[in-house]
A and B are shown apart, each in its own frame.
Chain A
Amino acid sequence: MTLSTALKTGDLSALPSRRDEDWRWTDLRGLLKTLPPVAPAHDGEVPAGPFAGLADAETVFVNGRRVAASDAASGVVALRFVALADKASQGASHALVVKPGESLVLLESHEGRAGAYVSDVVLDIAVGEGASLERIVLVDDEAEAVNVVTADVILAPGAKFAQTVLTSGARRQRIETRVRHPGAHAQVRLDGAYLLDAQRHADLTSVVTHSGLDGVTSQLTKGMVTDQARGVFQGRIVVEKGADQTDARMGHHALILSDKAEIDAKPELLIFADDVSCAHGNTIGALDDEVLFYAKQRGIPEADAKAMLTVAFVGEVIERIEHEGAREVAAAWVARKLGSEA
C-alpha cells in the first residue's frame, strides 16, 4: 500500500486510502483517479537550491532522475529533489550510509517548481556505531502537487540522529520517518514544523521503535494552519520487550488560525517494557487573545502581531537545529512563509 508501488505498477488500488488506519487523514486513493505520465529527463540548467553555498557536496535528482551524485559520507552534504515537469510523476530512491564514528549533516530539499506533479521519494539511511547524522528537510511543494517522502533510518548502538522537517504542504503531502532505535545510548531527536495556508495539506508521520536498553528519543512538532488548510501529525513510539530504561518524549503543539482549517493528531505510545519513562503532550488551539490584544494596544497591526507570535511559536523547533547555516536558512524560510521578514 504505497505510492511507490502504484507508480511502479500503475495499479491505483495499491494507493493507501482512508480505510488504511495509518492513512486515514491522508487519502491518496480517493484523490488520484489517474496517475500522470512519467516525467521526462531535463537537460537545461537546474536552479540553485535553498541550502546553496552551505554544502561541501551535493546529490541532485531532477524529475526523479539523478543528475549529480556525491559519495561524500561526512561533512555537509546537500540532497536535492527537484520537480520541473508539470502533470508528470516521478519516483526516486536513495541510500545513505554514515560510517562508524563519522559525522554528517544532510541538507535535504524538495523543490517543486512545476505545478501538478506526483512525486515519491524513498530514502534508506543507516547510521553506524558512534556516528552522527543531522538531517534537515525543507519541503517546498507547489499547491497542486502530491508528494510522499519516506525515510527508513536504522541506527547502530551509540549512534546519534537528529532531524528537522519544515514544510508548507501541498495538495496532499506526507513526510514519513521510521527509525529503528537499538537503544545502547543511541539518541534520536525528531522535530518538525508545518505552516499551511490556502487548501494545503501536510502529514508528518513518524514511527520510532526502541528495541534495546538505554535509548533516548525526544520529539517536538509544531504547526500552524489557516484558511482551509489541514495539518496531520501521527507520531508513534514503540518500546519493545526488553527495551528498558527507554526515555521517550513527544510533543505536538499546533495553532488553528481560521475557522475552516483542521488539525488531526494521533500521538501514540505502544509500550511492551515496564522500566520506561514515556510521555506525550498534544495541544491544539488558537493564539492567545490577551497577547494579541496587548500587541494591538501597542500599535502592532493584527496581521503583524499574529505573524510575530507564530514565528515565536515555531521558533522553538528552529532553535533546536544544530547546524548554524541551516538554522539561519530555516529561520528565514519561516519568516518568509509567515510574511514577517524583518
Chain B
Amino acid sequence: MAAVKETVETVAALEKYEHGFTTDIEQEFAPKGLSEDIVRFISAKKDEPQWMLDWRLEAYRRWLELEEPTWAKVNFPKIDYQDSYYYAAPSTKEGPKSLDEVDPEILAVYAKLGIPLKEQEVLAGVEGAPRYAVDAVFDSVSVVTTFKKELAAVGVIFCSMSEAVREHPELVRQYLGSVVPTSDNYFACLNSAVFSDGSFVYIPPGVRCPMELSTYFRINAKDSGQFERTLIIADKGAYVSYLEGCTAPMRDENQLHAAVVELVLLDDAEIKYSTVQNWYPGDPETGKGGIYNFVTKRADCRGDRSKVSWTQVETGSAITWKYPSCVLRGEGSSGEFYSIAVTNGHQQADTGTKMIHLGANTRSRIVAKGISAGKSTSTYRGLVSAHPKAKGARNFTQCDSLLIGKDCAAHTVPYIEARNGQSVFEHEATTTRLSDDQLFYCQQRGLNQEEAVALLVNGFVKDVLQQLPMEFAVEAQKLVAISLEGSVG
C-alpha cells in the first residue's frame, strides 16, 4: 500500500508537467531546413567517415521519394519539414574529456531532472543501492556517458552513436540499418538521413551486463527536432537491461521526435528494453504544443532461444505513434511487449506492437493497457503473424482499455495473420470505464475521488508496472497518476 500512498501524495503535490522548464544554453544550430547540404553539415560536424555520409545521403534521396503515411488514427496539421532545425548542440570547442568540462548549465538540467551523471554521486548513495550507467543526450548530441571504464573492463561497449561510428566502425557498419532498413518507413528514412546521436551498446558473448544501462533524452532547443539512433547488439548468451527516459520543455510549437531503435540478438541473448516516455504533451486545455513522437523500434531475434522484452510507459507527447516490434527469426526465440499508454487533455496515441513469428517454436506475449481521459484518443494497433515455417508458434495478447470521461475515445485494432496449422493464437480485448461500484467502495473508505481513481488505475496497470525495473516502476507509477490529474469531476 505504500506505493499507492506515495502516488496519492504525488498527485496532490506536483504541478502538471514538472519537466517543462527551458534552459538558456549557448547552442549551435545547423541552418533551418532540410537539404543535402544539411545532411553533409551534420555528418561533417560529427567528423564522420565517408561511408557514413554516403549512407545518410542515400537515405535522404530515398526519403524525398517517400510519401508521408496517413493511416494512423491521429490528426495533426501537415508538418513543414523545412521549418525546423535538424542539428542543435550545446556549443563547446572540443568534446568534453571529463564531466568537469561539461557545461555546468547542462549538468544543472540533469540534476533538476534527477538524473545522476556523476559516478561518485551514484556511488555515494545508500550501500547496495542499484547503480546504472547513463548516456545523456541533449538535443542532437550526447553530452556524457558514465561508467564507461567499468563497463569496458568486462568488454561492454556503451557510448554515443557518434563515438561508435569513429571507434567501432566495423560493428556499426555490420549492424546499423540491418534491423530497420533506411527506407523502412517515412520517419525511419528521415532519421537515417539526419540522425544526430543516440546510444550504442555492444555486449560481448556470454557477458551479463553488470549494471542497468540507460539513456536520458532531453529536447531543449526551440524549433528543433530530435532524431536519435540507438543500436544495441547482444552477442551470443549476453544479457542487458536498458532503460530510456525522455522529457522536453513546454512550448507552444510542436516538435518532432523521430527516433530509430534497433536491437540485435544472437543465440541465447536477452535484451530487456524499458521506456518511460514523458515528452511534453501539450497544453491540456488548448492542446497547443507538445512533441510528435514518431518512433520506429524493432528487435531482431536472429539467434535461437534469444529473448527480447519491450516495456513502455507512454504518458507524454502530443502524439505518440509507434509500434516496438519483434522479428522472431531464431528457433525458440521469444518476444514480449508490455505497455501502458495514458492519454489526457488533447493527447493522441496510436501504439502497439508487431510480433512476426518466422522461426519454429517462437513465442510472444502482449499485454497492453490503454487509459484515455479528457479529450484524448488512445488506439492499440498490433500485428501478430506466423509464417508457414513458424511451426509451434504461440501468441497471447491482452488489450484492455479504460475510459475516464465522456469526451475521450479508445480503440483496439489488432491484426492476426496465421499461416500454419501448428500455431496457437489467443487474443482478448476489453473496453470499460472505471466501475462506479469500485469507486463508491473506495470513497466510502475515506479516499477522495482522485485518490480512488489513482488506486483503481494502479490496479489496472499493475501487470505492466511489474515488468519495469524497480526505480522505473516507482517513477512510472507516479507519472500515470500525474497524467490523469484533473481527469475526473
State the A residues within 8 Å of B (CB). Answer: 21, 241, 254, 256-286
A-contacting residues, B229-288, CB 8 Å: none
User: A112: shortest Cβ distance to chain B, in Å?
Assistant: 27
A274 touches B405 (CB 8 A): yes
B421 touches A259 (CB 8 A): yes
B367 sits at the interface (CB 8 A): no
26 contacts between A and B (CB under 8 A): A257-B421, A259-B422, A261-B421, A263-B416, A264-B417, A264-B418, A265-B418, A267-B414, A268-B411, A271-B409, A274-B405, A274-B433, A275-B433, A276-B403, A276-B433, A278-B430, A278-B432, A279-B430, A281-B428, A282-B416, A283-B427, A284-B423, A284-B424, A285-B424, A285-B425, A286-B421
Considering the chains assembled together, what is the distance between the CA atoms of A266 and B382 in angstroms?
10
Closest 6 CB pairs of A and B: A274-B403, A285-B424, A282-B427, A256-B421, A284-B425, A265-B416
Asked whether A262 and B427 contact (CB < 8 A) given A273-B406, A276-B432, A276-B433, the answer is no
A276 touches B431 (CB 8 A): yes
Known: A261-B421, A280-B412. 6 other contacts (CB 8 A): A259-B421, A264-B415, A269-B412, A274-B408, A277-B431, A280-B427
Q: Which A residue sits closest to B71, measured CB to CB?
A: A21
Considering the chains assembled together, what is the distance between the CA atoms of A264 and B410 in angstroms?
23
Considering the chains assembled together, what is the distance between the CA atoms of A165 and B410 in angstroms?
29
A269 touches B425 (CB 8 A): no
B413 sits at the interface (CB 8 A): yes
A260, A267, A271, A275 interface centre (most CB from chain B within 10 Å): A271
User: B355: shortest Cβ distance to chain A, in Å?
Assistant: 14
Considering the chains assembled together, what is the distance between the CA atoms of A34 and B107 in angstroms?
69
Q: Which residues of B contact A279 (CB under 8 A)?
A: 428-431
Q: Which residues of A contact B417 (CB under 8 A)?
A: 262-264
Q: Which residues of A contact B425 (CB under 8 A)?
A: 282-285
A278 touches B413 (CB 8 A): no
Q: Which residues of B contact A272 (CB under 8 A)?
A: 409
B419 sits at the interface (CB 8 A): yes
User: A300: shortest Cβ distance to chain B, in Å?
Assistant: 20
User: A293: shortest Cβ distance to chain B, in Å?
Assistant: 16
Asked whether A284 and B418 contact (CB < 8 A) given A266-B413, A274-B408, the answer is yes
User: A242: shortest Cβ distance to chain B, in Å?
Assistant: 8
A-contacting residues, B430-456, CB 8 Å: 430-433
Q: Which residues of A contact B418 (CB under 8 A)?
A: 254, 256, 262-265, 284
Q: Which B residue sits closest to A268, measured CB to CB?
A: B413
State the B residues within 8 Å of A (CB). Answer: 71, 388, 391, 401, 403-433
B401, B415, B418 interface centre (most CB from chain A within 10 Å): B418
Considering the chains assembled together, what is the distance between the CA atoms of A268 and B382 in angstroms?
11
User: B323: shortest Cβ distance to chain A, in Å?
Assistant: 15
Asked whether A259 and B427 contact (CB < 8 A) given A267-B414, A271-B409, A273-B406, the answer is no
B411 touches A274 (CB 8 A): no
Considering the chains assembled together, what is the distance between the CA atoms of A269 and B430 in angstroms?
9
Q: Which residues of B contact A276 (CB under 8 A)?
A: 403, 431-433
A281 touches B427 (CB 8 A): yes
User: B403: shortest Cβ distance to chain A, in Å?
Assistant: 4
B422 touches A286 (CB 8 A): yes
Q: Which residues of A contact B413 (CB under 8 A)?
A: 266, 268
Considering the chains assembled together, what is the distance between the CA atoms of A241 and B407 in angstroms?
8
User: B299: shortest Cβ distance to chain A, in Å?
Assistant: 24
A271 touches B431 (CB 8 A): yes
Q: Which residues of A contact B433 (CB under 8 A)?
A: 274-276
B430 touches A274 (CB 8 A): no
Q: Which residues of A contact B409 (CB under 8 A)?
A: 270-272
Q: Which B residue sits closest to A249, measured CB to CB?
A: B430
Q: Which residues of B contact A261 (CB under 8 A)?
A: 421
Considering the chains assembled together, what is the distance between the CA atoms of A267 and B433 in angstroms?
20
User: B358: shortest Cβ distance to chain A, in Å?
Assistant: 15
Considering the chains assembled together, what is the distance between the CA atoms of A319 and B457 in angstroms?
40
Considering the chains assembled together, what is the distance between the CA atoms of A275 and B408 in angstroms?
11
User: A328: shortest Cβ distance to chain B, in Å?
Assistant: 31
User: B362: shortest Cβ distance to chain A, in Å?
Assistant: 15
Asked whether A278 and B431 contact (CB < 8 A) given A271-B411, A284-B418, the answer is yes
B428 touches A280 (CB 8 A): yes
Q: Which B residue sits closest to A272, measured CB to CB?
A: B409
User: A312: shortest Cβ distance to chain B, in Å?
Assistant: 19
B403 touches A271 (CB 8 A): yes
A271 touches B423 (CB 8 A): no
Q: Which residues of B contact A265 (CB under 8 A)?
A: 414-416, 418, 427
Considering the chains assembled together, what is the distance between the CA atoms of A268 and B409 in angstroms?
13
User: A104: shortest Cβ distance to chain B, in Å?
Assistant: 33
User: B379: shortest Cβ distance to chain A, in Å?
Assistant: 9
Q: Which B residue sits closest to A254, measured CB to CB?
A: B418
Q: Which residues of B contact A256 (CB under 8 A)?
A: 418, 420-421, 423
Q: Which B residue sits closest to A21, measured CB to CB?
A: B71
Q: Which residues of A contact B414 (CB under 8 A)?
A: 265-268, 282
Considering the chains assembled together, what is the distance between the CA atoms of A284 and B421 in angstroms?
9
Q: Which residues of B contact A281 (CB under 8 A)?
A: 427-429
Q: Which residues of A contact B388 (CB under 8 A)?
A: 259-260
Q: Which residues of A contact B401 (CB under 8 A)?
A: 269, 271
B419 touches A262 (CB 8 A): yes
User: A272: shortest Cβ distance to chain B, in Å?
Assistant: 5
